[in-house]
Structure 1
């Protein structure tokens, strides 16, 4: 089994605003002394992992295979679970702010009575197995609080909270509590497919983090671009124009178009380790990733631009050699009407030159090219899974 899989994709987007900056305009970057459109890796990964194309390639439902990334564990699962279990509101809020420490410190220093105060201060990605463990624990805790039902695990947690409350060093007490709760509610050995691929970081209990098996570069256009403005108006359907024939709304929206280069590096050994050494699930996870990466576009402004696109060209490489991006191929902006064809030539040339200078940079390669009708997604997926 090859350790690394690398994907090099070319995707052509029509006028779009797939990934906006803080002013609402398309994100950009200066590359090779030229302005390029940019799509962040965060935008791409979220679009992929939440897509139907991703889950359709996995051997189970979304609730079985994928995690939930949220700050609202405390309010949605802990507090509501305790209330549903018959626990009074005051006790439910107090316990929620302590149990949430398995995932990170609660929002704010004190409980101000809001849902926000019950939640974690950081986004937490939890797997289906961890959600089920939390639900089961909350049921046991509810019975312990309401009915005095004996439970050794809950007793241990309650003792730690008492010790923390009496301790002079509350920070140390909370750290001990966080680790104990993590041992009860989190898992280390295997996890959800999306967490296995893209990783997670837990600041309070780093030992329960997962290193990402997939690295995704920010996509950039292979050519220079100028961000343009769409001036638009909206008409009031009930305005007959007798008194005012003007528009009901006027606005502007930035957009750009271009051919993007996207680089993805996958550590297959790490992915299989994250998935509990399940070779078949690893293969299916790779299938899901490639299926989504080649077909799914970020969701930004899709209703305004319908800028959905499939990859026009993909080169896949396998091997144990140190990975490298082929972004160098586009330091000099590509020009001309045959832009996609020239981009493929530039990529191919860069691959050959890397092999010449450094020695063979991959043990095997497979590609498809929509422009020429060569290859297929099915063959590419088979190649990656072998």
Structure 2
């Protein structure tokens, strides 16, 4: 039962990646020190969107309350005869599948129909659902206007099958919870930790002014607007893990697809960035150090390397990488375990003498080569397990 652990050390300049209810960067106290924190949910969404947009082999998924509206619009477009009843059919269909009620509301001069909570499914699953409805167009038209007859037609269609199987990679990775019908839940095959700074951080404030162009041309003094925005800067430890057997199960037992999904997620997780205040700070960095570990015992976070905050005036990246690697080795030594495969990616400057590393830094591979090595070992392990 292999697990893919993804570790990253990433330096981020002044930024407000993930805000709390007051607009401040999220934080956490760890090891008695305040740390910058980026929530797992923020990075999951960024990774999901990166994964789906950058790979033609990863179909799209959606998490939305407006599924009734989406389905109704497609029904009305593809079957004009059902247009008058499309909204009622869509709402009844989702009630039949998820046991969830839809709520019509007036907004922007039109009726908006939404469910009580976000529903997560693939675009392909939604398309199959609409196809199944339109295949019964005559029956639906005959039952339109009579809720009991409509319920009977929908029940006979067995619509649940369209969302209970054929999950997209994002649902297989991150799971799905349907509060009103746990039988449609999908257990996540991926865990993503809250990213934390490896060192203590304090909030800072940017006092900004905006000039009124017209007033300034008229020799008016003063700012057209003033305000403050809170930010901080940090070197973060990021971690995620993928249970490859669970991922394959969620993808219908397709181990090859599970492997490619895990590789696509690893790349997307490492190269994605949540979009909070991105236009204000342009904090578009990539990891300074990546460690990919394939394990056959259990997933292992290395956050404990930073329980004692990293300090020093010469920067935090090199010291954080040293701590990470030492903790990685000492953990396996203490528990008499070892990764099946470990591979690293980092820029050349980290191995320079100025970084003070000496020996102990693993050989670096380009990210694509490191992922290829992981892919090959996963295929070997999964193949042996299936034999």
**Same topology, TM > 0.5:** yes
Deviates most, 13-22 or 279-288: 279-288
Q: Secondary structure at the match of 2:164?
A: coil
Shift of residue 302 of structure 1? 0.7
Q: Secondary structure at the match of 1:186?
A: helix
Say if 1:113 and 1:340 are closer, same or farther in 2 by CA, change over 3 A: closer
Aligned to 1:122: 117
Deviates most, 196-205 or 34-43: 196-205
Shift of residue 379 of structure 1? 2.4
Aligned to 2:48: 49
Q: Secondary structure at the match of 2:81?
A: coil
Task: Map 1:15-94 onto structure 2 (within 5 A).
Answer: 15-51=14-50, 54-59=52-57, 65-78=59-72, 81-82=75-76, 85-87=80-82, 89=84, 91-94=85-88
TM-score by length of 1: 0.84
Task: Map 1:357-372 onto structure 2 (within 5 A).
Answer: 357-370=334-347, 371-372=350-351
Aligned to 2:310: 334
Match status 1:9 vs 2:39? no
CA contact (8 A) 1:103 1:202 kept: yes
Give the Cα separation in 2 of the matches to 1:246 and 1:178. 68
Aligned to 1:250: 226
Residue segments in structure 1 that go unaligned for 5+ positions in a row? 164-176
Aligned to 1:223, which of 199, 218, 233? 199
Say if 1:243 and 1:142 are closer, same or farther in 2 by CA, change over 3 A: farther
Residue segments in structure 2 that go unaligned for 5+ positions in a row? 353-363, 377-387
CA offsets 1:5-56 (integer angstroms, 9 cap, x no match): 11111111000011010111110000111010000010001011112x6543
Shift of residue 99 of structure 1? 1.6
Shift of residue 139 of structure 1? 2.2
TM-score by length of 2: 0.83
Give the aligned length.
356
- Superposed CA RMSD in Å reads 2.7
Match status 1:347 vs 2:347? no
Aligned to 1:290: 266
